[in-house]
Amino acid sequence: MRLNYNKLINYKFAFSGVNYRKADWNSVQLISIHIPKTAGTSFLKTLRDEYQYLEVVRMDLHHKNESLINMVPINDAFVSKQPKVIHGHFKISELEALISLPKQYKLITWLRNPVERVISNYYYLSKRLHEELDEKKRRLNILAKMEKSLIEYASLEMNRNRMSKFLAGLQLEDFDFIGIVENYEDDLILLSELMGWQATKKFTVNKTGSTKKQVPDELQSLIAELNRDDMQLYQQALAARKNR
């Protein structure tokens, strides 16, 4: 249903937009790298409040055949002729390989306590897995075969230090703004002042419930150990925040 809805929106945009290959990407003013489970959905809503809907392009660049623009396959997507914002799951190198970026633009991202981020991501994916597997498949025990424990999930290399991996090739100094999810509302107001946005609204973060308190301290410590790079990155960002 979600994909169908996004296809309908995409068809609507086809009348006023262009295929992504024909867009003038030199018009981009802001690039937002969305690391999973760092309030990206809430932030996307804010971006679409501040800019015209079509001017904000969501890009999720995965494997070549799975990449999406505004939640539809990349080759089928229509965007503004002159996009202003790019937001989504991508590394800057992946974005540069896809489109020609302007020489100057604002670069922002949000970071989160790495332990909390890993736990939140795990429970989110676990919930999605339960929702998407129907009863017949469950009777075949596919769910039990696919689902991993928290520590099994956290130990996989692909799930370790994901914040650092998303920001590969960049230094903290390369960013015009780095928000901290734990201080989301305050940081978003500060970002609004920096960007000249309307800061009169009540900003909220999509919440999936408490996670860390459900996990034993020793397991949290192990997750932190598995994400040393992210822990260091997060502490550096917290220190930089104090010096704003």
Residue 136 pLDDT > 60, yes or no?
no
Q: What confidence score (pLDDT) does residue 46 get?
A: 95
| Domain definitions of the chain by residue range | 2-112+166-195, 116-163+207-242
pLDDT at res. 108: 98
pLDDT tens digits for range 99-131: 999 999 999 999 999 999 999 999 988 887 776
Q: Is residue 180 predicted with pLDDT exceeding 50?
A: yes
Mean pLDDT of 51-75: 89
Say whether pLDDT at 135 is over 80. no
Average pLDDT over residues 141-160: 80
> Which tokens go with 174?
């390369």
CB 152 within 8 A of CB 226: no
Over the stretch 4-59, which tens digit does the pLDDT of each residue have? Answer: 667 777 766 676 789 999 999 999 999 999 999 999 999 999 999 999 988 999 99
Tokens of residue 108, six digits: 């922002």
* pTM summary value: 0.88
Please name every residue paired with 88 in a beta bridge, in sequence order, or none if there are none: 33
